[in-house]
Amino acid sequence: MLEIYQLTKNFRGSECFGITSQLRRAAVSVPANIAEGTKRLGGQDYVRFINIAEGSLAETEYLIMLSRDLAYLSPEASARPLAEITEIARMLNALRARVEQGLSVKTQNARSAMQTLTSREFSSPALRSLDKLGEP
């Protein structure tokens, strides 16, 4: 992310509020969304923020390519950040998949526990009455 600031400091002044600003905001958004997602209470929220970070990373990638194509960046100067973006995208994808997998395991465990509870015949009258609450 710091590299983006270094790359964009030499863009011409007319781009200060155009590509420069947008590229910097997109790059900052990647780690900011990951950080915010880690503090959310639910795993689904964390997955959503990781996905937002993935979108911001894709935007960053596009804006670097655009900057290269407009000759604001040389092909050599853009090669390293583009390679890093590819690696970060892989890591974010793996992180999102792991969090989703954890949610899937939690959901499966909860379903299994619910099935176990609802399939049991309860011995005490109070528990039997609770068991019948779900019946039509």
Confidence of residue 16 (pLDDT cuts 50, 70, 90): low
Q: Is the pLDDT of residue 23 over 70?
A: yes
By the 8 A CB rule, do 55 and 26 touch? no
pLDDT of residue 128: 47
Residues 6+ apart with CB under 8 A from 106: 43
CB 30 within 8 A of CB 53: yes
The CATH number of the domain holding residue 6 is 1.20.1440.60
Average pLDDT over every residue of 16-45:
87
Q: 73 φ, ψ to 5°?
A: -125, 145
For the chain, percent of residues with pLDDT exceeding 90: 43
pLDDT digits (tens, 9 = 90+) for 84-93: 999 999 999 9
Check: CB of residue 37 under 8 Å from CB of residue 20.
Answer: no
Helix or strand holding residue 104 (H, E)? helix 75-119
In a domain, 121, yes or no: no
pLDDT digits (tens, 9 = 90+) for 102-111: 877 655 655 5
Spatial distance between the Cα atoms of 72 and 74, rounded to a whole number of angstroms: 7
pLDDT tens digit sequence for 112-133: 555 554 454 444 454 444 444 4
Q: Domain containing 45: what range?
A: 2-96
Q: Is the pLDDT of residue 50 over 90?
A: yes
Q: What is the mean pLDDT of residues 32-46?
A: 89
- Residue 75 inside a domain? The answer is yes
Residue 115 lies in a domain: no
Rounded distance between C-alpha atoms, residue 134 and residue 136, angstroms: 7
In a domain, 55, yes or no: yes
